Amino acid sequence: MWPYHPELLAQAVPRYTSFPTAAEFTGRVGGAQQADLLANVAGPVSLYAHIPYCEQICWYCGCNTGASGRAQRLTSYLDALCAEIGLVARLTGKRITVDRIALGGGSPNAIPPVAFVRLLDRLMTAFSTREPLISVEIDPRGFTPEWSRTLGATGVSHVSLGVQTFDPAVQAAIGRVQPLAMIERTVDALRSAGVRSLNFDLMYGLPGQGDDALADTLERTVALRPDRIALFGYAHVPHLLPRQRRIDATNLPDQAMRFTMAARGFELLTAAGYVPVGFDHFALPHDGMAIAARAGTLRRNFQGFTDDQAEVLIGLGASAISCFPSLLVQNEKNAGRYRMLSSQACLAGALGVERSADDRLRACIVEDILCGRPAELGGLAEGALLQEALTPFVALALVGLDSGWLVPTQATRPYARSISALFDPYRAQAPSRFSSAV
Ligand code: SF4
């Protein structure tokens, strides 16, 4: 069992899918900087396309998504997305090659299968691709045999399913009801269609959920043997996400129970043969993510932990974030304004942050800590303030310090985000934007 030190987890901290985090984005970065970098980028890049629609909206959801509603709404969004793809491809020219394409949201299966085929075709023909690895997020509630045939025919190899919990009472409490039989059917259909890597997104810290209910969900999950499992702590931030106001906050587990759940999840999944990946992912030993974790090449980006080694990720669609070594830039979040920009042949970058050399050093350190490998601290190792902040973690053997390197221990995992926050000089501001450290 992990050692529990609540005083070291008291501060709300980011999930650090980037450094600096999206909280540091400002309007000083936008389409102009995006255009400059796209006009100069070369080599392998990955693409992410965002579909900001779902057939049903879950109460806990933190994604930029809305109800799919009228067909015309989807069509005009997809037209805008295709226009942006054309614009970005013209800027990048033949200098880049695309090895990975991810479609997420929202729910990519909120659009008709035929529209999905057209979108993929647009991506594959606009850019130079080399048999890219294609991954798609799927909502099992809208998954049909036609979708199964579509994913098989388009060569989608990786699918992530939103599962969250198998407990019917907890499902009702979060506004996402999907029986076990539905997930079993979806898993069978995806495997028959040739999908070779399946991920389940699961959550702990949900309303009315205890550690036994979590263990039951994990046992049912292990029986279905997904290649990857992401076990996220639910972040209750209704001041930022009004849809979460439908969740009964009085019924949420406290921090001690959240810690117990995360620890029990870790024990149960590792005992079932899963390799821990970062602080909240798990993968079967054959899977690319487990291989990357063992090899020390795991990365962290806006999609979470990944084995993708590309230095540049180009985000397409409303709210999608592009990541360049020197810049993070997010497209306009509002789908209506995004459509307007794209229809006028304008890049949609609206917010972002330029990364200084110091940001990039800290970004490497944070990524190393979160990925569970030693982090070279460079000049930061000598800082008295940092030494002082690290002292309680080092004294309790939650992390080691050795000749300018921060070295993970058996107990680092649940404290990884809190330790990362010590390297984040922006965190003095607005900590309430973030979620519980565990
Ligand atoms: S299906 Fe996924 S993206 Fe859509 S509302 Fe539910 S959690 Fe959010």
Buried b (16+ CB within 10 A) or exposed e, 339-365: bebbeeebbbbbbbbebeeebebbbbb
Q: What is the pLDDT of residues 63-119, one digit of tens each?
A: 999 998 888 999 999 999 999 999 999 999 999 999 999 999 999 999 999 999 999
With a 6 A CB cut-off, is 54 part of the ligand 1 pocket? yes
Q: Over 80: is that where the pLDDT of 431 sits?
A: no
Strands 129-138 and 399-402, by their bridges, are unpaired
pLDDT for position 382: 85
Ligand 1 pocket, 139 CB below 6 A?
yes
Query: Which pLDDT belongs to residue 69?
Result: 83
Placement of tokens 């030693």 in the chain: 374
- State if residue 304 touches ligand 1 by the CB under 6 angstroms criterion: no
pLDDT reading at 169 higher than 60: yes
Q: Percent of the chain having pLDDT more than 70?
A: 99
| Element containing residue 290 per DSSP (H, E) | helix 288-295
Looking at residues 20-31, what average pLDDT do you find? 96
What are the structure tokens assigned to 173, written together? 């409490």
pLDDT averaged over every residue in the chain = 96
Pocket probe mutation, ligand 1, options 53, 65, 68, max atoms within 8 Å of Cβ: 65
pLDDT of 106:
93
Q: Enumerate the β-bridge partners of residue 135.
A: 102, 158
> Ligand 1: which residue has its CA nearest to atom 7?
61
The DSSP-derived string for 315-369 is EESTT-EEEETTEEEEE-SSHHHHHHHHHTT---EEEEEEPPHHHHHHHHHHHHH
Question: Is the peptide bond between 112 and the residue preceding it cis, with omega within 30 degrees of 0?
Answer: no
**pTM recorded for the entire structure:** 0.95
Could you read off the pLDDT of 202-216 as tens digits, one per residue?
A: 999 999 999 999 999
166's CB contacts (< 8 A; 6+ apart) are 180, 183, 216, 217, 220, 221
Query: Taking the CB of residue 53, how many other CB atoms lie within 10 A of it?
Result: 23
Q: Can you give the pLDDT at residue 78?
A: 97
- pLDDT tier at 409 (50, 70, 90 boundaries)? very high
CA 102 – CA 158 distance, rounded (Å): 9
| Cβ–Cβ < 8 Å for 405, 394 | no
Point out the least confidently predicted range of 339-353, 401-415, 418-432.
418-432
Tell me, using a 6 A CB cutoff, whether residue 372 lines ligand 1: no
Q: What is the pLDDT of residue 430?
A: 52
Mean pLDDT of 38-46: 97
- Residue that has been written with the tokens 């985090």 in this structure: 21
> E strand or H helix at 153, and its extent?
helix 145-153
What integer pLDDT is reported at residue 372 of this predicted model? 97
- The verdict on the CB of residue 106 being under 6 Å from ligand 1 is yes
What band does 33 get if pLDDT is binned at 50, 70 and 90?
Answer: very high
Give residue 229's pLDDT: 98
For residues 274-295, give the mean pLDDT. 98
Backbone phi and psi for residue 164, each to the nearest 5 degrees, phi listed first: 70, -60
DSSP summary character for residue 379? G
Q: Is the CB of 105 under 6 A from ligand 1?
A: yes
Listed residue (2, 14, 3, 11) closest to 369, CA to CA: 14
**43 CA distance to ligand 1 centroid (A)?**
33
Per-residue burial over 146-160, b = 16 or more CB atoms within 10 Å of its CB, e = otherwise: ebbebbeebebebbb
What share of the chain in percent tops pLDDT 90? 92
Is there an atom of ligand 1 within 6 Å of 52 CB?
no
Tell me, rounded to whole angstroms, the distance of Cα 111 from its chain centroid: 21
CB of residue 386 inside a 6 A radius of ligand 1: no
| 350: phi then psi, degrees, rounded to nearest 5 | -130, -20
From the CB of 414, is ligand 1 less than 6 Å away?
no
The mean pLDDT value for 329-348 works out to 96
Residue 224 CA to ligand 1 centre (angstroms): 22
Question: Does residue 224 have a pLDDT over 70?
Answer: yes
pLDDT value, residue 124: 96
Contact between 350 and 356 under an 8 Å Cβ cutoff? The reply is no
The set of residues, in sequence order, having a beta carbon less than 8 Å from that of 106 and lying 6+ positions away, is 50, 51, 52, 53, 54, 63, 64, 65, 137
pLDDT of residue 437: 76
For the stretch 119-148, pLDDT in tens is 999 999 999 998 999 999 999 999 999 999
Q: Tell me, what's the pLDDT at 433? A: 63
| 244-259 core/surface letters (b: 16 or more CB in 10 A; e: else) | beebeeeebbebebbb
Q: What is the 3-class SS of 62-114, one letter each residue?
A: CCCCEECCCHHHHHHHHHHHHHHHHHHHHHHHHHEEEEEEEEEECCHHHCCHH
63 CB under 6 A from ligand 1?
yes
Per-residue pLDDT, 46: 98
- Where residue 429 falls among pLDDT bands split at 50, 70, 90? low
Whether the predicted pLDDT of 412 surpasses 60: yes
174 contacts 59 by C-beta, under 8 angstroms: yes
Q: Which DSSP state fits 26?
A: B
For residue 381, pLDDT over 90 is answered with no
| Residue nearest (by alpha carbon) to ligand 1 atom 2 | 106
The residue whose CA is least distant from atom 5 of ligand 1 is 57
Looking at residue 427, its pLDDT comes to: 85
219, amino acid identity:
E
Ligand 1 centroid distance, CA of 258 (Å): 22
The residue nearest atom 8 of ligand 1, judged by CA position, is 61
162 pLDDT above the threshold of 80:
yes
